[in-house]
Chains A and B, each alone.
Chain A
Amino acid sequence: MVYLRSWFEYVNEFPSSVALRESLYGYPALLTAHVVTMCLFAGLIVMMDLRLVGVAYTDTPVSQVQKRLFPWQMLGMALSSITGILLFYGQPMRFYFKVFFWVKMVLMGLAGVNAMAFHYSTYRSVAAWDSDVKGPFGARMAGALSIVLWTGVIVFGRLVAYDYMTLSD
């Protein structure tokens, strides 16, 4: 953690980081763009998860939902990552002390692992259950877990804005 901290402190002193931190509209613009891009990313992820669970878009084959939404989910992920990284870049030392920021990062990692695990296990046999209203247990579980994890990411992401669980130096 000492190395991590010195790296955060290093970034914190970059002139462009200071400029972003001190600009009047930079931060509000980035926060707003982060919410809008979240709508694209998390919105379409949740819609796909609801199909996996078997409660929405049940007339559409799972593979259709997955393949046709994927490029838009990736666009949403790229845009929310860019705005998120810039938000971090402008105030690294503020986030360093926020417990909820680290919780959000861990939950994002777990959501990624869940998606990959599903893709390389249960999803391989999708042809056998593509049009079923409710897929196999693995698919319903992956969908439900994804909803829980991304909900956690949004909850803790929003909580970072408040002063709860901020460690002192």
Chain B
Amino acid sequence: MLLPFFQWLQDLAISGVLRNSPWLGPGINILHLLALTVFAGALLMVDLRLLGAGLTRQPLAPLARAAQPWLIGGFIALTLTGIPQLLSTGTKQYYSDFFWGKMEILTVALIFTFTLRRWVTQADEKRVGPVWRKAVGLVSITLWTTVTVGARLIGLLS
């Protein structure tokens, strides 16, 4: 059903420019990787703290607020550098199980991060038990690791 849309994306003039340039593709790919590093760092600062490791002497809520601009900035950069890669290889992505797997888990990860994870990091630490914090940290790391693995495998095994 979505195939014509992906075909259309691939046939856009900008997609051709991206495909035919010797350095645009690799350049965007590298920027995607650098954005991932910032995003993952900001995510782990808080997830480790949720697991009872890392910056344990810092109160959770301010730490999560300090990490947030880097988390959101990293995610915006990931999206901006991800879209051109989708455009230039539309039908390859459409036929890749890893692409769809990544996007499904990404949707779940985003909803989880901006609802449950956000509530637990911003709640009064006395009101949320350590088990809940650990569970949220573990689920967060698992979801985002799965997204990263799926993303890498689009390029390697599709």
Contacts and interface: CB of A to CB of B under 8 A. Distances in A.
Contact of B41 (A32, A43, A59): A43
A68 B41 contact: no
A32 B58 contact: no
Given A50-B70, A57-B45, A68-B54, A162 B26 contact: yes
B62 interface: yes
B48 interface: yes
A64 B58 contact: yes
B34 A57 contact: no
B157 A154 contact: no
Contacts of B43: 43
A6 interface: no
B18 interface: no
B42 A47 contact: yes
A23 interface: no
Interface stretch (A34-42, A102-110, A118-126, A138-146): A34-42
Nearest to A28: B156
Contact of A36 (B63, B66, B70, B148): B148
Given A32-B156, A68-B54, A40 B63 contact: no
Summarize A's interface: helix, strand, loop or mixed.
helix
B57 interface: yes
Contacts of B3: none
Contacts of A28: 153, 156-157
Contacts of A154: 30, 33-34, 37
B143 interface: no
Nearest to A58: B66
A31 B148 contact: no
A158 interface: yes
23 contacts: A28-B156, A28-B157, A31-B156, A43-B38, A47-B41, A47-B42, A56-B69, A56-B70, A57-B55, A57-B67, A59-B58, A59-B66, A64-B58, A68-B57, A69-B55, A72-B48, A151-B34, A154-B34, A155-B30, A158-B26, A158-B33, A159-B26, A164-B26
